[in-house]
Structure 1
Amino acid sequence: MGSLDEQLRGHGNGNGHEDTTYRFSKARDSLEMAKGPGKNKKHEVRLDKTKTFSSLYTLSEPCSLSWRNVNYSVLVKKQNKVILKDCAGDLAPGKMLAILGPSGSGKTSLLNVVAGRVTAGELEGEILLNGKPRTDSFRLLSAYVVQDDALFSSLTVRETMLIAAELRLPSGVELGKKQEVAEKVINELGLAKSANTRIGNAFVRGISGGEKKRVNIGVEMMGNPSLVFLDEPTSGLDSFQAQNVVQALKDLSQNGRTVVMTIHQPRSSIFQMFDTIMLLSEGNLIYFGGAHAEAASHFGSLGYKMPEEFNPADFYLDLISLDTRSPEAEAKTRDRIEVLARNCKTNKEPIPSLGMASASEPEVSKGAASDYRAGKLHQFRVLFGRALTQITRDKIPLMISVFTAVFFALIVGMLYMHMDKNQRGIQDRMGALFFVVVNNAFGQMFAILNVFSKEKLIVQREFAARAYNTWPYYVSKLVAEQPFRLIGPLVFCCIAYPIIGLNGAWDRFLVFVLIVLLLAIAAQTLGIFLGSISKNEEIAANVSPLATVILLLFGGFYVNKDTIPPALSWIEYLSHIQWAFTALCVNEFKGQEGWKCDGFESESNLCDVTGEQILHRLSMDGQTVWEPIISQILLICLLHCGAYWSLCKLQPKFKPLETKKGVSPVKAVKGSDRV
């Protein structure tokens, strides 16, 4: 197996353009494929600049990180709430920092500030990378592992890693090399035994919680980051699994990466792995420094000696936590926290510039920070395969969809079968058609909403990591999943139509199927739109029925079109239910005759009603079946535009870092750029 530079070397330059050379770490990188001693030296990766995207890949130097004068506040009920107060710290390459503190102390907020992931509020301070102001290339040097284990349940560990490698390594890298990189990460994270096991979910047993955490870490490691930020990587794990996860992170730091994490009440064996700790309480910096002898000495000098054979994490958290059980206890602990915070600031020496003579922030070609490592067509191919694999393996939702379709088709069929050609038959037919519309509109929308709400967390994480663009994801998902999601509506049509006894002509049946399938597509697209604009699953679950009921009222069954107030008449044009119901009625009644006038016919004067007269009562006269069908297609296009726009809004915008007054100005990370 060759060295990493040989494996990632681009193809020759055939157009006379210069190759771009990047250097990377002396430290043993966790993605390095070289074997044996003596191979951890500088390599050169030559990549062809004639590619359609400006920077294919960047291999980075070890990074030191420092921050000072960090203040952060948010607006809560029109009042400014201070989250962080003048926090500072520094971290050398290859070190692991744990941020500890009680709930509400500002741990995650500080992590987000340092990682450049703050989305709201007022933020000021200075953050330096290798002693220099943080720039746009920081995005390519860092990885952020979220607390939630958002993964595709039907993929195996190996498939998940390979897909991450496909998206986060340049398209020009051969597939075999990407597989080798994925295997290296799997081995280093201790996932080799479960590599062929599916991730799993509530219905299908998969890997353990600790393994999911390590898979999440591995996915982010595919971008070859120098800095790794993690929010509560041990949450929800037992002590043994938590130790395995932190041990994997310790290994990453020993390989030259800088690791920063928030953690809640680590066991003593986990605490021993930390190089540096940062203690926060009520937004105040209580301590920053060595995790062991230095910390014990600092608090011992203040009169708080740690007992022997005592978990240091428990001791420090007890010391800096606010006791709100009584006013007296709260006042006492608040005074203690203030004293500790003052002593921290008094005893803390000014943080030096950590710039290293031989390691500055790696050069990145202009525009590289905003580009994706993989081309859009390559993104589409990978995402299409992932979506196809997920939906074909996750058979339970498909089986439920088909079972539900059969169940409701039999119910509506038995309820409306043997309809006569009289006034009651007209009413029953309209009721049956409206049930067909409502059943498919609600069923398809909520089916896609349930799936997308879970997938949304993954999409948001991958958008933030700039793994792919919006349109390759949206189009690949649509092309891969749409045929499978239409199986249920198709089964429903084939069963319900003959049992109900609707128009027996074959062309009418085919048009009926077309109308129902278009309705299903419109409902699914509406579900994606509502799921994307909703902040969480609960909001989406409450907003979606409300929107559907409003569109239902304008569906043409409960209220005649001619009686709708002019100020509200525009809503019916946005109702996919209205267009589907209109098309079904025209398809069923137009051109039909022989409907009896119950109670008015006599032996000498038979009273017949035509289909055109029925449509006239519904204010649907004068229409062909294709007019509402074309209108439905146009509405679907509009809904797709709305769904695509809402997915684009999922890409977060992070706040800029303002320089604190009295501090020399530095270049801040552009908040308008999407990460």
Structure 2
Amino acid sequence: MGGSGSGKTTLLNILNGNIKPQKGELLINGKNFVSHQEIKSLIGYVPQDDSLIEELTIFENLYYMSRFCYSGLTKSEHTELVNNLLIEIDLFEVKDLKVGSMLNKFISGGQRKRLNIALELIREPQILLVDEPTSGLSSADAERIIYLLAEQVTKGRLVITNIHQPSSDIFKLFDKLILLDKGGYPAYEGSPAEVFEYFRQKTGRIDVFKSFTKHGYFIPEEIFRLLEEKKLDDYGEIVNERIREPEEWHQYYLNEIKGKRKDVAGESLRELPMTNLQKPNRLKQTGIYFSRNFKTKLGDYQYMLISLLIAPVLAIILGYFTKNTQLNEAGNAYYLFSTNENIPSFFFMSVIVSLFIGLIVSAEEIIDDKKLLLRESFLSLSKSAYLHSKIFFLFLLSFIQTALYVVLSIIILKIPDIGIKLFLILFSLSCFANILGLVISALMRSVIAIYITIPLILIPQLLLSGVVVDYEDLHYSISSPRYTPVAGDLMASRWGLEALMVEQFKNTSTKKCCTLSKRK
């Protein structure tokens, strides 16, 4: 327990291995946490912020976690395991509700917190670390969460949680208290029931118990007032200086625990408890990741609608404006592909569209999952399996988008002969953009940074494609009358456009729309 900024969350992150301690060792049963990575599978960590998949239901969130943890179970056994846990945490009746976001809620804050805890309980950790389990909850929901954690202790688990200002009823449920002062200094360690006597002895005040209680109820936050009690000046006014600084309380703490703790380093203690985890192999992990990602996207109706409509809408817009319809002598409109001088412009814009769509559908894929990946790091799952599942899904989506774009383009502009090759070229560009988007998503720390980066990638693709500015007219330091500049060779837009123009010129019966010039 400690005030804001006292290092409670940092301490939990050290205990779960997310932060490496600057000095000292973390030992579990006498074994060093850093050198024995198998220990990580024994630890469950519930962060303060939700790490749930909002587009999935309560049941589906737990079901996919179960599949990652126990590869030897059948589908019905996974279902039974999840249902039993849902009954235990009192979420069975609402298991088919979507989790939803904090702005578009389908379940309450207390239900979200219980689901967060259940995602760790399903793999049966021996040590459960919970960061601020009551934060933002009503008093009733907070008590319910603490009672749930107390039940885990009766099942043989070690539960360590941090808390800011617990109620009197919640405070009484804890077996042991570590009190942190500002700067992360431990000020007390021991039974919560003995905290009154401890502070009475250290302060010499006989009114400590009275100051800690109100109408017969213990007020835990009064501990912080005593820790941070201010001095009075000669006029009886409170000054901004503590009676006892954190270092002084910490020295009291060190004197109190001196000789009470054993040095367990190097001792031969009990072996680490066995874990029931049965991780699936890399191929199965890829399948589970793909299935979960696919179902997540299907659950986001807006994402799916926009993703499926963007390609055909752009095909209709580009096809309409580049379809050079003419009038015959009788005044009737007619259209011939061979006389359409806008086809090179259409090909160029098609290249840019493929790159653009490929980037925007992939640019958020990894950054959106970072909290989830941090939670699942305790399972030591394959990173390559995760990446392959993302790539397979994005390639499938790009396949559908490119097919819709090409079919509508052929219908509108009556493009002959090269339909399949047009599809393959544009699909290749989309796949390249998918991979590039994943790289951006992995490197950037915010969504805003991602969408600022995308124009920085697309604008050079436009400028150095050889269409907007001829290579001969570029800055003298990179231009050449005979050779394509290296900057142009690095642009996917240049290669995509060249492939389309060459195929159109070489393999169609109507070549008038395209002209070629040789350049090494």
Q: How high is the TM-score relative to the length of structure 1?
A: 0.64
Q: 1:175 to 1:403 in 2, by over 3 A?
A: closer
Q: 1:654 — aligned with what?
A: none
Q: 1:514 — aligned with what?
A: 424
Q: 1:476 to 1:249 in 2, by over 3 A?
A: same
**1:184-583 superposed matches below 5 A:** 184-201=84-101, 206-280=106-180, 281-291=182-192, 293-301=193-201, 302=203, 303=205, 304-305=208-209, 306-309=211-214, 312-320=219-227, 331-333=240-242, 335-353=244-262, 360-362=270-272, 373-418=279-324, 426=341, 428-462=342-376, 464-480=377-393, 482-499=395-412, 501=413, 504-505=415-416, 507-562=417-472, 565-566=477-478, 569-583=485-499
Per-residue Cα deviation, 1:529-565 (whole angstroms, up to 9, x for no partner): 1101223434333333323333443333233345565
Whether 1:172 and 2:172 are equivalent positions in the alignment is: no
Alpha-carbon offset, residue 253 of structure 1: 1.9
Letter in 2 for 1:555: S
Per-residue Cα deviation, 1:185-231 (whole angstroms, up to 9, x for no partner): 22222221222222234797533332222222222223321101122
Per-residue Cα deviation, 1:341-393 (whole angstroms, up to 9, x for no partner): 232223333342397x99713267xxx99x97332233233323323322334
Where in structure 2 are there 5+ consecutive unaligned residues? 231-236, 327-335
Q: 1:482 to 1:337 in 2, by over 3 A?
A: same
Alpha-carbon offset, residue 442 of structure 1: 2.1
Whether 1:142 and 2:43 are equivalent positions in the alignment is: yes
Q: 2:500 — aligned with what?
A: 584
Q: 1:64 — aligned with what?
A: none
Q: Secondary structure at the match of 1:352?
A: coil
Q: 1:321 to 1:532 in 2, by over 3 A?
A: farther
Q: 1:15 — aligned with what?
A: none
Whether 1:183 and 2:83 are equivalent positions in the alignment is: yes
For structure 1, which segment, 247-256 or 311-320, has the greater mean C-alpha deviation from structure 2 after superposition?
A: 311-320
Q: Is the 8 A contact 2:9 2:162 kept in 1?
A: yes
Letter in 2 for 1:373: K
For structure 1, which segment, 379-388 or 568-577, has the greater mean C-alpha deviation from structure 2 after superposition?
A: 568-577
- Counterparts of 1:548 and 1:322 in 2: how far apart (Å)? 59
Alpha-carbon offset, residue 508 of structure 1: 1.8
Q: 1:406 to 1:189 in 2, by over 3 A?
A: same
Per-residue Cα deviation, 1:133-177 (whole angstroms, up to 9, x for no partner): 5444321221122233222233322222222122112x3345544
Per-residue Cα deviation, 1:269-307 (whole angstroms, up to 9, x for no partner): 33332222222221211222222x211222233235533
Alpha-carbon offset, residue 570 of structure 1: 3.9
Where in structure 1 are there 5+ consecutive unaligned residues? 1-99, 596-609, 623-675
Alpha-carbon offset, residue 111 of structure 1: 1.2
Q: 1:532 to 1:615 in 2, by over 3 A?
A: same
Q: 1:588 to 1:203 in 2, by over 3 A?
A: farther
Identity of aligned residues (%): 25
Q: Secondary structure at the match of 1:516?
A: helix
Number of residue pairs the alignment of both structures matches: 487
- Counterparts of 2:502 and 2:305 in 1: how far apart (Å)? 33
Per-residue Cα deviation, 1:397-441 (whole angstroms, up to 9, x for no partner): 11112333343333323322226799x964x44433333232332
Alpha-carbon offset, residue 481 of structure 1: 5.0
Q: Is the 8 A contact 2:213 2:219 kept in 1?
A: no
Q: Is the 8 A contact 2:29 2:272 kept in 1?
A: no
Q: Is the 8 A contact 2:130 2:161 kept in 1?
A: yes
Alpha-carbon offset, residue 571 of structure 1: 4.2
Q: 1:524 to 1:344 in 2, by over 3 A?
A: same
Higher helix share: 2
Q: Is the 8 A contact 2:46 2:117 kept in 1?
A: yes
Q: Is the 8 A contact 1:372 1:467 kept in 2?
A: no
- Counterparts of 2:85 and 2:430 in 1: how far apart (Å)? 42
Q: 1:550 to 1:359 in 2, by over 3 A?
A: same
- Counterparts of 2:260 and 2:455 in 1: how far apart (Å)? 55
Q: 1:79 — aligned with what?
A: none
Q: Is the 8 A contact 1:152 1:199 kept in 2?
A: yes
Letter in 1 for 2:467: F
Q: 1:106 to 1:307 in 2, by over 3 A?
A: closer
- Counterparts of 1:320 and 1:544 in 2: how far apart (Å)? 51
Whether 1:123 and 2:22 are equivalent positions in the alignment is: yes
- Counterparts of 1:395 and 1:243 in 2: how far apart (Å)? 36
- Counterparts of 1:128 and 1:275 in 2: how far apart (Å)? 21
Letter in 1 for 2:152: L
Per-residue Cα deviation, 1:473-505 (whole angstroms, up to 9, x for no partner): 222333345323443333233334443x3x631
Q: 1:240 to 1:454 in 2, by over 3 A?
A: farther
Per-residue Cα deviation, 1:295-333 (whole angstroms, up to 9, x for no partner): 12222332355332266332223444699xxxx978513
Letter in 1 for 2:69: R
- Counterparts of 2:291 and 2:446 in 1: how far apart (Å)? 27
Q: 1:442 to 1:102 in 2, by over 3 A?
A: farther
Alpha-carbon offset, residue 258 of structure 1: 0.8
Q: 1:631 — aligned with what?
A: none
- Counterparts of 1:578 and 1:382 in 2: how far apart (Å)? 38
RMSD over equivalenced CA pairs, Å: 3.6
Q: Is the 8 A contact 2:44 2:125 kept in 1?
A: yes
